[in-house]
Amino acid sequence: MSLSTFCEPIFPAIEADLQRQISRLDDLQTHLFHEMLTYHMGWTGEGAGLDAQGKRIRPLLLLLTNSSCGSDWRPALPAASAVELVHNFSLVHDDIEDDSEKRRGRITIWKKWGLPIGINSGDALFALSNLAILELSSTFPPDTVIKAASVLHATCLDLTRGQYLDMSYENRIDVSIKEYWPMIAGKTASLLASCTAIGSLLGGADEPTQESYRSFGHYLGLAFQVQDDYLGIWGDTELTGKSIESDLLTGKKSLPILYGLERNSDFAHRYIQGPIQPEEVSALSEELTKEGARLFTQENTDRMIDLALQALHIANPSGEAGEALYELLHKLVSRRA
Amino acid sequence: MSLSTFCEPIFPAIEADLQRQISRLDDLQTHLFHEMLTYHMGWTGEGAGLDAQGKRIRPLLLLLTNSSCGSDWRPALPAASAVELVHNFSLVHDDIEDDSEKRRGRITIWKKWGLPIGINSGDALFALSNLAILELSSTFPPDTVIKAASVLHATCLDLTRGQYLDMSYENRIDVSIKEYWPMIAGKTASLLASCTAIGSLLGGADEPTQESYRSFGHYLGLAFQVQDDYLGIWGDTELTGKSIESDLLTGKKSLPILYGLERNSDFAHRYIQGPIQPEEVSALSEELTKEGARLFTQENTDRMIDLALQALHIANPSGEAGEALYELLHKLVSRRA
State the ipTM, two decimals.
0.95
Q: B332 and B210, same structural domain?
A: yes
Chain A's closest residue to B181, CA to CA, is A29
Please report the residues numbered 103 through 122 in chain B whose beta carbons come closer than 8 angstroms to any beta carbon of chain A.
Answer: 115-117, 119-122
Q: Is residue B184 part of a domain?
A: yes
B79 shares its domain with B35: yes
CB pairs under 8 A between A and B: 146
Per-residue pLDDT, A34:
98
Task: Residue B129: give its domain's CATH number.
Answer: 1.10.600.10
Q: How confident is the model at residue A235 (pLDDT cuts 50, 70, 90)?
A: confident
Query: Quick one: B176 and B275 in the same domain?
Result: yes
Q: How far is B163 from chain A (nearest CA, A)?
A: 7
Model confidence band, residue A288 (pLDDT cutoffs 50, 70, 90): very high
- Is the domain of B263 the same as that of B117? no
pTM: predicted TM-score of the whole model, two decimal places? 0.96
pLDDT score recorded for residue B1: 44
Please indicate, yes or no, if residue B94 is contained in any of the structural domains.
Answer: yes
Claim to verify: residue B333 and residue B184 sit in the same structural domain: yes
Same-domain pairing of B274 and B327: yes
On the 0-12 / 13-18 / 19+ scale of CB atoms within 10 A, B94 is: buried
Domain co-membership, B119 together with B204 = no
Report the C-alpha gap between B197 and A170 in whole angstroms: 44
Same domain, B46 and B107: yes
Cβ distance B160 to A123 less than 8 Å, yes or no, reads yes
Q: Are A68 and A319 in contact (CB under 8 A)?
A: yes
Strands A106-107 and B102-103 turn out to be unpaired
Same domain, B196 and B310: yes
Task: List, for residues A46-74, the tens digit of each pLDDT value.
Answer: 999 999 999 999 999 999 999 999 999 99
Does one domain contain both B216 and B270? yes
Q: Convert B183-194 to b/e letters by CB count within 10 Å (16 or more is b).
A: bbbbbbbbbbbb
Is B200 within the bounds of a domain? yes
Q: What is the mean pLDDT of each run of 10 residues along chain B (337 residues)?
A: 78 97 96 98 96 95 98 98 98 96 95 97 98 98 98 98 95 92 97 98 98 98 95 73 71 94 96 92 95 97 96 97 94 67
In a domain, residue B69? The reply is no
Chain-wide mean pLDDT for chain A? 94
For residues B332 and A148, which has the higher predicted lDDT (pLDDT)? A148
Residue B51: domain span = 20-61+75-139
Locate the DSSP E strands across chain A.
102-103, 106-107
CB contact under 8 A, B157 and A124: yes
User: Same domain for B280 and B329?
Assistant: yes
Report the number of distinct structural domains present in chain B. Answer: 2
pLDDT of residue B251: 81
- Other Cβ atoms within 10 Å of A97 Cβ, number: 20
Q: How many residues are recorded in chain B?
A: 337
Interval A9-37: pLDDT, tens? 999 999 999 999 999 999 999 999 999 99
Please report the pLDDT score of residue A5 as a whole number: 84
Residues B206 and B268 in one domain: yes
Task: Collect all residues with Cβ–Cβ distance below 8 Å to B329 and sequence separation of at least 6.
Answer: B220, B223, B305, B308, B309, B312
Q: Is A154 on the interface with B (CB under 8 A)?
A: yes
Question: Nearest residue of A to residue B117 by CA position?
Answer: A164
Determine, yes or no, domain membership for B230: yes
Q: Which of B116, B139, B162 is the last residue before a domain boundary? A: B139
Question: Domain for residue B276, yes or no?
Answer: yes
Among B86, B117, B139, give the residue marking a domain's end: B139
Q: Are the Cβ atoms of A116 and B97 closer than 8 angstroms?
A: yes
Question: Given this model, what pLDDT does residue B301 score?
Answer: 95
Instruction: Please determine, for residue A290, whether its predicted confidence score (pLDDT) is greater than 60.
Output: yes
Higher pLDDT, A249 or A199: A199
